[in-house]
Amino acid sequence: LKNDLEEMAYIFFRIDEEEYARLCLAAAMTMDEKDSSIRINPFLKLSLERSLDHYISIIEEKDKPEEPKNNSSSTIIIP
């Protein structure tokens, strides 16, 4: 889970959400503590995993090259 939080921090940093990146890193640092609530709460774990999947899909969409637009109405006809 600590690795997931660190990965999420990187993703937030990459999409210019520095505040969320800092929060994720802070949460990752608390994973070393013995009584971390994230470790014992399955809802928080699932929520984190779903959020990570969501932001990864956003980055993948940003990284896709745009397809050239085919504009058939601008065809030049030469007689």
pLDDT digits (tens, 9 = 90+) for 7-50: 888 988 988 888 888 888 888 888 776 665 555 666 677 777 88
CA distance 41 to 60: 29
CA distance 54 to 47: 11
Is-contact 38 28, C-beta < 8 A? no
Contacts of 18 (CB under 8 A, 6+ apart): 12
Say what the pLDDT of residue 49 is: 81
Mean of pLDDT values over 61-75: 65
Q: For the chain, what percentages of helix, strand and coil (3-state, to nearest 5) are there?
A: 70, 0, 30
State the pLDDT at residue 76.
59
pLDDT of res. 59: 83
Report the pLDDT value the prediction gives residue 64, as an integer from 0 to 100: 75
